[in-house]
Amino acid sequence: MMRRRLGQWIFSGPQWAILLLVLVGLTSQSLAQAPPQQPPGLQFDLGQAGTYSVPLQLLAIITLLSFLPAILISMTSFTRIIIVAHFLRQALGTQGAPSNQILIGLTLFLTMFVMGPTWDRVYDQAVVPYQNGDLTPPQALEAATKPVREFMLKNVREADLALFVGAAKLPQPRTPDDLPMRVIIPAFMISELKTAFQIGFVLFLPFLVIDMVVSSILLSIGMLQLPPIVISTPFKILLFVLVDGWRLVVGSVLEGFGPF
């Protein structure tokens, strides 16, 4: 189970990252099949019987790890969820509560939940067949990319895709499969940013009403020296707790990604 989840986590990157992981995934098996007297060299073969040296393994792993944060942010639901959580904290006026560590931890687990079906498809359609020898590296790469592309295309706006297609001076694509990843990824990111800001605006409205009411009351009774936030913050927290705000916000964000 741990091996399956690890494969699901790391095989959600762009094409070159997936290829590196597909190669590293069979390193132990390839080395075990090599003759014991053969010295470890920089032999690199894309075939199933290839051997990979330890320095090459370390280089591939370190290179991939350095890009994992960018992959996580740019190709998953992480961006939308963390921005919504930030807007919610600002609307409540609680400053550092919940802390950044709590919000990032919650966002990571929600991202794993949202991306779970996509990672399952990558593992079942690309990793397992490649380990069984049913797919060549190029075929495994293409199979691993398809679920990630489908997830991003399902959540991207056509206007954003058209923007980057025009900026790259590419011919008009006939199908989504004709779009390169260098167009899909930035279009997906700005689509996620717009959606997150729209949700954040809706979150601010009820708390803004409370702030305005409290400010008007304090102004009418002449308490100009008392900051309105001191009075409005407890009422905003009370309202958020009474309506079960965390369940509503998280549920709305999850529904925005469609059925799982």
Once rounded to an integer, what is the mean pLDDT over residues 184-198? 94
pLDDT on residue 160:
92
pLDDT on residue 52:
55
Once rounded to an integer, what is the mean pLDDT over residues 77-84? 93
pLDDT confidence tier of residue 226, bands split at 50, 70 and 90: confident
Once rounded to an integer, what is the mean pLDDT over residues 17-23? 44
Once rounded to an integer, what is the mean pLDDT over residues 140-149? 85
Least confident residue range of 30-34, 74-78, 206-210? 30-34
pLDDT on residue 39:
40
Judged against a pLDDT cut of 90, whether residue 189 lies above it is answered with yes
Q: What is the 3-state secondary structure (H, E, C) of 41-88?
A: CCCCCCCCCCCCCHHHHHHHHHHHHHHHHHHHHHCCCHHHHHHHHHHH
Mean pLDDT across the chain, nearest whole number? 78
> In the chain, what are the domain boundaries?
70-255
pLDDT confidence tier of residue 142, bands split at 50, 70 and 90: confident
Residue 101 or residue 45, greater confidence: 101
pLDDT confidence tier of residue 94, bands split at 50, 70 and 90: confident
Once rounded to an integer, what is the mean pLDDT over residues 206-218? 88
The whole-model pTM stands at 0.73
